[in-house]
Amino acid sequence: MMQARWWKRNGDIISCNLCFRGCNIKQGGSGKCGVRFNKDGVLISPCLGKFCACAVDPVEKKPLFHWNSGKFIYSLGSVGCTMSCPFCQNYHIAFPVKALYEKTIGTSELSADDLVRNVKGSGLNLVAFTYNEPTLQAEYICETAPVLYEAGISVALVTNGAMSHEAARDLLSCLNQNDAANIDIKAFTTETYKKLGGELDTVKKNIELFINAGIHVELTNLVVTGLNDNIEEFAAMVDWIASISDEIPLHVTRYFPARNYNKPPTDIEFLYSLASMAKAKLKHVHIGNV
């Protein structure tokens, strides 16, 4: 399972096409995510099928409020991320220290049958790829999905939506309409996305792609003090969501300092005022982390 998909070789360089970054990786080097390597002209990802975080969470914690409400979901996370948010709450696995990275890739790959056993053994029929960026497990998700479906298990992804068009399309072809995704929409300007190591246009296109594929989609906007706490920007984002459908749930969530971003937590009154603004255009607006 170590060999990755979505890449091509140009001489000694491998161009990875899993996410929007399109890293060109020299022999022995890794991409920006830190978990995909050029090893002798082949792109490998040693963390595929290997997880360092596992918990049973309420579905609402993902957050997904309009999909299997009231149920619990078997939740798995691994290492690495395709963005670089300075306030990441899960930075210890998104940007792991060497020891955690090595411990994770040193574990055995979780087979599809073992995953089914774990989920069913917990009395559940839902599994989430979450905590770190789940599209870094895209190959594993595509390989295990048929076995999960056969066992009556549905899949949720909690993603930054930064995958390439090709990877998003291929990943969606492995999922089915009982599945769900919570996609972060972290800001609504190109400049702010750049500060987070992301790309707004890619995320917008992927949100539309997931919705058009019939997957259940909810969106999350973390309102970060001093970064995207801007009424005009928020209003433009809400207008854009409403232009696709006013049925798309939006989670407006409170930021807390983490990693190397130390501005004060989002002002609660301000958060509520943004949510009321959104409620004028969207039918399902939820406030989170308060």
Report the C-alpha gap between 213 and 211 in whole angstroms.
5
Task: Specify the 3-state DSSP secondary structure of 170.
Answer: helix
Beta bridge partners of 47: none
Phi, psi of 28 (to 5 degrees): 85, -10
Q: Which stretch binds ligand SF4 (CB under 6 A): 19-27, 60-68, 107-115, 210-218?
A: 19-27
Q: Which residues pair with 277 in a beta bridge?
A: none
**21-29, 93-101, 107-115, 244-252 -> range binding ligand SF4 (CB under 6 A):** 21-29
Q: How many residues bind ligand SF4 (CB under 6 A)?
A: 11
The reply on whether position 22 binds ligand SF4 by CB under 6 A is: yes
Q: Dihedrals φ, ψ of 9, to 5°? A: -105, 135
Task: Compute how many other C-beta atoms are within 10 angstroms of the C-beta atom of residue 278.
Answer: 22
Structure tokens at 48: 């595929």
Stretch that binds ligand SF4, among 16-24, 187-195, 253-261, 279-287 (CB under 6 A): 16-24
Q: Which stretch binds ligand SF4 (CB under 6 A): 30-38, 200-208, 248-256, 264-272?
A: 30-38
CA neighbor of 32 nearest in space, from 41, 42, 22: 22
Question: Taking CB under 6 A as the rule, which mask of x and - marks residues 59-88 in contact with ligand SF4?
Answer: -----------------------x------
Radius of gyration for the alpha carbons in the chain, expressed in angstroms and rounded: 18
Query: What is the closest distance, in whole angstroms, from the C-beta atom of residue 17 to ligand SF4 in the complex?
Result: 7
CB of 20 to ligand SF4, least distance (A): 7
Does 23 sit near ligand SF4 (CB under 6 A)? yes
Footprint of ligand SF4 (CB under 6 A)? 16, 18-19, 21-23, 31-33, 36, 82
